[in-house]
Chains A and B, each alone.
Chain A
Amino acid sequence: MEKIFNQLCEGFFSELENDESLTLSFAGENSQFIRINNASIRQTGLVDDANLGLKFISNNRTCEGSITVSGDYDIDLSRGKNEIIRMRSESKEILEDPFLVMPKNSGSSREIINANGLEFDRAVEALLPSMQGVDLVGIFANGKMFRGNANSLGQKHWFETESHCLDYSLVTPERQMVKGTYAGTDWDQQSYESYIKRSIEKLELMKRKPMRIETGAYRTWFEAKAVADFIDMFSWNGISEASLQQGCSGFGKMRHNDVRLSAKFSISEDFSSGLVPKFNSNGETGPDSLPIISNGILQNTLVSSRTSAEYGVSTNYAEDTEELRSPSMTPGDLNQEKVLSQLDKGLFLSNVHYLNWSDNPGGRITGLTRYACFWVEGGEIVAPIETMRFDDTFYRFFGTELESVGSKVEVIPDVLTYGQRNLGVVSCPGILTNEFQLTL
């Protein structure tokens, strides 16, 4: 893929005329997908895909395009040339862009993570035997992923990795579920089989009769995966500087009214794990670590170069969408073994589901409990709970009601595959809150 990308860069850049600039952004994969229902294979197949985005600037106008890379150089060169001709023509008639982000050459990079992955033709026999006898449903995604970026000033970045991820649920006959995600780079059959075995053991707890919980406020422990889902909400009308400037951010109270979260809550954008490319789709590379909220105080928003040009705020080279790409929450001092005793009486929520802002300016988020969520009394798990809806603000559960932060950080991979397999991760611990509002 890298060779194809390099050849196309050369071919496309040679088509440019004076005062034209071009940035190319590449995303590709050679993937295997095995979809599983009831520990049997529902759908299976392979996907080769490669997309090349073009950002063209001329005559103080910005035009964007993209092509599918077929792998045949002549076809792909022709597709790219046609796009450049289209954008050149369009740049003569669309509105002028006063906030152009011109490409720069700030240095190149190349990172290739080689792995001893699971061969596609071995995957079925490696995966299926361990899950027999239980109702397992989910998706196995496997193979290489590629990201590239280059511009007409000579800057070039390449990132290549290989990974596998089995994202699954185990289901009891009473329809109670346990969630699991086995992900990594090198395939280790013994490690995989142990992971599945531990999941099956967890399922035992779910065989107890589920309890119906009344609506109201409860002490609640959120496992790291649930916390990660709340942190994901920061990337949607949250931490984006453009969202704040445009009046559609849940962080408005922090910016305008000096409202603070708990001093125990700190989060940063941190690329030190190396699991995510440091460069964005414009080829810009930000700091290795950027504090977002430190001890409850808003330190930095995510600022793209375009937002910087528009609102006069310094850029930190965020992606154009100003989403968190590799957030990392600081751990606290609550030992995982003491979580149940510290909670004493209340809710133990392993996962949450279908989050949405119910009042974005107020920071209020609604959603539902899902998977391995329990009622706890006397520091012991009593039973799983029936699905409940919650509706509460992050100013409470990351703020006034935050009692403790867990000491163990989990690295949670982004398992989404819309259009292509994602590369993001969230690193965070669990949290204990004094109160959390259940509403339905």
Chain B
Amino acid sequence: MEQIDLKNLLSAVDVPADWVGIREVSETHTPRIVRDGVPQMNASYTTQGLMIEVLSNGQFGYYGTPNMTNEGVSNAAQKAFTQAQLASKHAAFEFSEDARPANVGNYQSPFVKKKDSLSPGELNKILLDAYNHLKVSDKIVSARALLQTIQTMFRFVSSNGSDISQEFLMLEFDLSATAADGANQQTRTFGGMRGNCLQMGMEYFDKLELFAQSQKIGEQAIELLDADECPKGEMDLVIASDQMMLQIHESVGHALEVDRILGDERNYAGWSFVNLDDFGKLQYGSELMNITFDPTLSSEFASYAFDDGGLEATKEYLIKDGVLKRGLGGKESQIRSGVSGVANFRASSWNRAPIDRMANINLEPGESSFDDIISSVENGVYMESNRSWSIDDYRNKFQFGCEYAKLIENGKLTKTLKNPNYRGISNPFWNSLKMIGNNDTFSIYGTPNCGKGEPNQVIRVGHASPVCLFENIQVFGGA
């Protein structure tokens, strides 16, 4: 990629704006897929460009451009300035430079082995070997191994002195096996919905028991074909970490985004059951519930040092002992709402303006071991790995489906169950949290596909959680 001097570009901007910022993003993602023994994809996609933002009469205007010359940036700044001026007569809020705090610093993803330490040929071999272990029987009609590396370079300079550089190396890995007998079809994956997403280098493969993991996924897909349907009824529900991540994402993370609460998202992603005056008061969940915004957890997918508005990122409790304390709002939302927030003003790339997003939103571990949790349940279900998700526009009524479940009878895991689903309403659901797993049950996951915003943006988020027990939940099976 071409090297550019952002400070030089900033100095070329000549508009009478109150503030100017330039954000450069260069990103290469390299997906490789082997399905059914054959390469489906060996690709390397690169995007690079600049977002020029100006503030005039209290209104921000922006111009996203791939033209990274002095002339291109100067032209972009002029047009962004014109848009800001025209819009300022109808501005939703009058901002000052305070919305873009000045900061200087850098961040580098933790990794041991570089992205290129394994060649394309070696990576194809890893994926093919994984496929061969997924295909445990002829009843596996399709199996797939996927690896994607993402390398992102982010720089931000501004007229009030910000100079931030952040470099990320990320990795997504997934395994999937589908067993079928006519229209009876069951799919098992490695953590559900590409949940294995981390900031890490190629040392990932040194620790992964790839072949054993692949074989287990293939065997469980076969096992599900003849499994009993998940029972229907109100019962105790134990949720594994790879489903808890989705539960946290949909019924806590999105609900706490302050721009949603302020109504920005009502035409697309929706509103929230949380109101501004709930902060500091609302009993969001049981006293066991401690939710953090944690950009500092090493290797989690959305760790960083600064958000895209230049605000320094620190670990903060959003929910402490079940009580709502703080919102997912960046500097703009903090100014608009008066609610305490975090550094989560993020954009999907150079061609989108930042908005309030999740980053790493985690449920802090508790005291109970996995065995303690299971042995406490007389009649219930244990569910792993998300396969279906849906929640209303206020983040109240949710329904989630999982890939794999076990019946819990008299404190023991017994029969395997297929098509497990559960539904509930966010606030009473979290207040039914009865036991929370300890550090041994705590795992880090994430998702590359969180959608929100107008224009739409998809962004990467991390979620870490222990295993949890919820009581009296509506559970049911397939069609």
Contact = CB atoms under 8 A, between A and B. Distances in A.
A44 B87 contact: yes
Given A46-B63, A175-B271, A368-B393, A40 B48 contact: no
Interface residues on B, range: 35 or more
A185 interface: no
Interface in B156-198: 178-180, 182-185, 187
The listed residue with most A CB atoms (<10 A of its CB), out of B352, B389, B396, B479, is: B479
A417 interface: yes
Contacts of A364: 478-479
Interface in A33-62: 33-51, 53, 61-62
B358 to A, nearest CB: 17
Interface in B13-54: 34-36, 38-39, 41-49, 53
B428 to A, nearest CB: 12
Contacts of A94: 39, 42, 120-121, 124
A121 B142 CA distance: 53
Contact of B457 (A48, A128, A354, A418): A418
B453 to A, nearest CB: 9
A173 to B, nearest CB: 12
A387 B64 contact: no
Nearest to A43: B353
A308 B350 CA distance: 38
A112 interface: no
B13 to A, nearest CB: 15
B431 interface: no
The listed residue with most B CB atoms (<10 A of its CB), out of A48, A62, A75, A253, is: A48
B391 to A, nearest CB: 6
Interface in B267-317: 267-268, 270-271
B389 A65 contact: no
A63 B42 CA distance: 5
B261 to A, nearest CB: 12
Nearest to B89: A124
B388 interface: yes
A43 B39 CA distance: 43
A280 to B, nearest CB: 17
A229 interface: no
B119 interface: yes
Given A63-B42, A358-B399, A368 B392 contact: yes
A40 B90 contact: yes
Contact of B393 (A51, A121, A125, A353): A353
Contacts of A388: 397
Interface string B79-90: 110111011011
Given A141-B455, A417-B455, A248 B178 contact: yes
Contacts of B41: 64
Interface residues of A, number: 99
Contacts of A44: 59-62, 83-84, 86-87
Contact of A68 (B47, B355, B399): B47
A204 interface: no
Contacts of B178: 246-248
Contact of B43 (A65, A141, A387): A65
B234 interface: no
B2 interface: yes
A403 interface: no
Contacts of B412: none
B266 A70 contact: no
B184 A95 contact: no
A90 interface: yes
A418 B451 contact: yes
A366 B390 contact: yes
9 contacts: A43-B355, A44-B62, A47-B352, A68-B47, A71-B66, A171-B263, A246-B141, A246-B178, A361-B478
Instruction: In the A-B complex, list the 9 residue pairs whose CB atoms are closest, starting with the nearest.
Output: A362-B479, A45-B62, A93-B121, A247-B180, A246-B142, A139-B454, A64-B43, A417-B455, A40-B92
Interface of B: 2, 34-36, 38-39, 41-49, 53, 59-69, 72, 76, 79-80, 82-84, 86-87, 89-93, 119-121, 124, 128, 141-142, 178-180, 182-185, 187, 262-264, 266-268, 270-271, 351-353, 355, 388-394, 396-397, 399, 401, 419, 421, 423, 425, 451, 454-458, 474, 478-479
Interface of A: 31-51, 53, 61-72, 75, 79, 83, 86, 90, 93-99, 120-121, 124-125, 128, 137-139, 141, 167-169, 171, 175, 177, 179, 245-248, 252-253, 256-257, 310, 353-364, 366-368, 370, 387-389, 391, 393, 416-419, 421, 439-440
Given A66-B46, A94-B124, A417-B454, 16 more contacts: A31-B455, A40-B92, A43-B355, A44-B87, A45-B53, A47-B64, A47-B351, A68-B66, A70-B49, A95-B38, A169-B266, A245-B141, A310-B38, A361-B184, A370-B392, A387-B394
